[in-house]
């Protein structure tokens, strides 16, 4: 986006990385870093106020924040609400902050990074899948509401993306199962840029993942079995993956509104 001349506002928790990226992007266009912990609701409220009053007004919003844990549903009870906040409710809050300006200008684009889990929840991802399904529903309703207002809305649905999420202690055996299907984050970023150039309601990364909704429509049971087979924890010498949550933060995927 910066190479195309778009000014950017970068939002994520890790200030050092954010500043380094902003410095790199300034080679092509203005870029500002706004370090924010999207786990913190007060910080999200402050960010929403800042974006709503920013001049020039925000014309493109990419909600790319996300966190997840690979745990059974019973083991996610302590973090379920947290996942819903970061993955869906924070995106809603920021969207509501910039949407009035887009509607007034009759120009704008909101891109929500959803997930294939929004179509069919895999094993160990109930909180993540529920939050991404909520984000998908928000995306579709928002698209219907703003279609005649000059605002475009896109949901991006990646499959497995090679991020720091797989560095969690419980993830190595899952990574062994899914590594061959993983795509680099840069591929998702290119898909976002392409969707902004040519607005579409849904973008799948890789493209053939668009078949899953059709399979689910024809046979939900078959789709569930397919997704389940690809997400079950592998058996090791010690049995299945330990699924007890840690007492620390639940974050795993790098958070930010731009990728």
Tokens matching residue 111: 């891109």
Q: What percent of the chain has pLDDT over 90?
A: 69
pLDDT at 156 over 60: yes
Tokens matching residue 174: 């899952």
3-class secondary structure per residue, the chain: CHHHCCCEEECCCCHHHHHHHHHHHCCCCCEEECCCCCCCHHHHHHHHHHHHCCCCCCCEEEECCCCCCCCCHHHHCCCHHHHHHHHHHHHHHHHHHHHHHHHHHCCEEEEEECCHHHCCCCCCCHHHHHHHHHHHHHHHHHHHHHHHHCEEEEEEEECCECCHHHHCCCCHHHHHHHHHHCECHHHHHHHHHHHHHCCCCEEEECHHHHHHHHHHHHCHHHHHHHHHHCCCCCCECCECCCCCCCCCCCCCCCCCCCC
Active site residue 209: no
Tokens matching residue 78: 């302590």
Tokens matching residue 176: 């062994």
Query: Can you point out the beta strands (E) in 78-224?
Result: 108-113, 151-158, 202-205
- DSSP letter assigned to residue 2: G
Nearest to 126 by CA among 212, 248, 243: 243
Q: What percent of the chain has pLDDT over 70?
A: 85
Catalytic residue among 128, 147, 157, 209: 128
Only one residue has tokens 């190479």, namely 3
What average pLDDT does the segment 39-59 reach? 94
Only one residue has tokens 């720091």, namely 164
Confidence band for 182, pLDDT divided at 50, 70 and 90: confident
pLDDT at 104 over 80: yes
User: Which pLDDT belongs to residue 191?
Assistant: 95
pLDDT tens digit sequence for 109-138 = 999 999 999 999 999 889 999 999 999 999
CA–CA separation, 174 and 172 (whole Å): 5
What average pLDDT does the segment 43-66 reach? 94
Domains of the chain in sequence order = 58-229 (3.40.50.720)
pTM, rounded to two decimals: 0.85
């Amino acid at each position: 986006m910066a190479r195309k001349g778009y000014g950017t506002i970068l939002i994520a928790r890790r200030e050092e990385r954010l500043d380094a990226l902003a410095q790199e992007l300034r080679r092509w266009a203005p870029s500002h870093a706004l370090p924010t912990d999207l786990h913190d609701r007060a910080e999200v409220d402050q960010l929403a106020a800042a974006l709503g009053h920013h001049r020039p007004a925000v014309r493109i919003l990419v909600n790319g924040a996300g966190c997840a844990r690979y745990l059974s549903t019973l083991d996610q009870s302590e973090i379920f609400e947290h996942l819903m906040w970061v993955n869906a409710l924070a995106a809603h809050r920021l969207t509501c902050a910039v949407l009035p300006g887009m509607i007034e200008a009759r120009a704008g684009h909101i891109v929500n990074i959803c997930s294939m889990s929004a179509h069919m929840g895999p094993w160990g991802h109930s909180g993540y899948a529920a939050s991404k399904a909520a984000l998908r529903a928000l995306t579709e309703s928002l698209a219907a509401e703003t279609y005649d207002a000059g605002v475009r809305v896109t949901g991006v649905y990646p499959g497995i993306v090679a991020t720091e999420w797989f560095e969690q202690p419980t993830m190595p055996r899952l990574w062994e199962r899914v590594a061959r299907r993983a795509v680099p984050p840069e591929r998702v970023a290119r898909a976002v840029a392409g969707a902004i150039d040519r607005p579409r309601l849904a973008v799948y990364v890789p493209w053939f993942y668009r078949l899953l909704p059709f399979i689910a429509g024809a046979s939900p049971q078959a789709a569930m079995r397919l997704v389940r087979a690809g997400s079950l924890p592998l058996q090791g010498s010690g049995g299945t993956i330990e699924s007890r949550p840690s007492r620390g933060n639940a974050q795993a995927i790098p958070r930010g509104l731009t990728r």
